[in-house]
Amino acid sequence: MSLTSRDKAIIKTLDKFRVMDRDSIAELFFAGLKNPKYAANNVLLRLLRDGEIQRSTAFIPYCYFGPSIQMKAQSHKIGHFLAILNVYKEMLKLGDLESFLVEPKYGRKKDGCCEPDIYAHFRRTPFFIEVQKTVYSANQMDEKLERYVQLYDSGIIAKPFPHVLILSDQRYAIDENYPFKVFQSESFTEFMSSLRSEPAPVNRPSEGGVRIVVK
């Protein structure tokens, strides 16, 4: 059976996010139907049967992978990628999401280059987003942000340099005066809500940044 345009879109999105749960696939691709989860199940089972996608039954709801993704069915990375997917869904609901890249590469980590979880362009504002589900020590967080400073200094990224947003239940003491804005919040939705009252940058940047348009 030939692939439909929706089949191809699902496979492409699975490759983009590495892994997606059934409910998220239903939300993103079958929302207009009477029973999105039932419709998603039927399509995903057909794609699985035809060898177009992979599946992990270690999670409920089941999780699905693109055909070229190499990941164990119980990998600890699955939770991380699902958290990135949740940020994407949040940003879609808030509107004006122009681009969203998962783990973009700007160099080799062993050479000191940072590896953002997300690059997003949202409401005409660029962001690097860290989805921090594990608790870092102060030194680990300082090291992570220093990698962003090295990326800033490299000139690889056109100015204005993206804001760095750390999404975590843990609040970190970030005292350095970085050349870009650093924000912290528990979720992207909460971050946007905080901007409606008073922006809360962790530091003052040495140069002006793009001011996000809050609607």
pLDDT tens per residue, range 42-88 = 999 999 999 999 999 999 999 999 988 999 888 989 999 999 999 99
**Is 96 a member of any domain?**
yes
Answer yes or no: do 94 and 187 share one domain: yes
Q: Give the global pTM.
A: 0.88
Whether residue 209 is contained in a domain is answered as no
Domain of 39: which CATH number?
A: 1.10.10.10
Q: Which domain holds residue 102?
A: 78-197
Cβ proximity of 147 and 116 under 8 Å: no
Residues 114, 148: one domain? Answer: yes
The pLDDT value recorded for residue 212 is 63
What residues contact 155, with CB distance under 8 A and at least 6 apart? Answer: none
For residue 124, pLDDT over 90 is answered with: yes
Arithmetic mean of pLDDT, 206-215: 48
Q: Which residue is it, tokens 């079958």?
A: 30
Confidence of residue 190 (pLDDT cuts 50, 70, 90): very high
Q: Is residue 71 in a domain?
A: yes
Of 182, 157, 156, nearest to 171 by C-alpha is: 182
Q: Do residues 29 and 9 touch, judged by C-beta distance below 8 A?
A: yes
Q: How far apart are CA 116 and CA 130, in angstroms?
A: 6
The confidence band for 197, taking pLDDT boundaries of 50, 70 and 90, is low
Average pLDDT, the chain: 89
Considering the domain architecture, whether residues 97 and 189 belong to the same structural domain is answered as yes
Whether residue 171 sits in one domain with residue 70: no
C-alpha span between 188 and 139 (Å, rounded): 25
Domain boundary pick from 48, 75, 102:
75
88 in the same domain as 67:
no
Can you give the CATH number for the domain in which 190 is found?
3.40.91.50
**Mean pLDDT in residue range 137-151:** 92
- Residues 65 and 99 reside in one and the same domain: no
Q: Residues 71, 83: one domain?
A: no
Question: Residue range 177-183: average pLDDT?
Answer: 93
Task: Indicate the number of domains in the chain.
Answer: 2
Instruction: Answer yes or no: do 89 and 190 share one domain.
Output: yes
Whether 86 and 64 map to the same domain: the answer is no
89 in the same domain as 62 = no
CA-to-CA dists, residue 193 to 29, 158, 165, 172, angstroms: 27, 28, 14, 20
pLDDT band with cut points at 50, 70 and 90 for residue 208: very low
Q: Which of 150, 84, 85 is nearest to 117 (CA)?
A: 84
Domain end marker among 19, 45, 75: 75
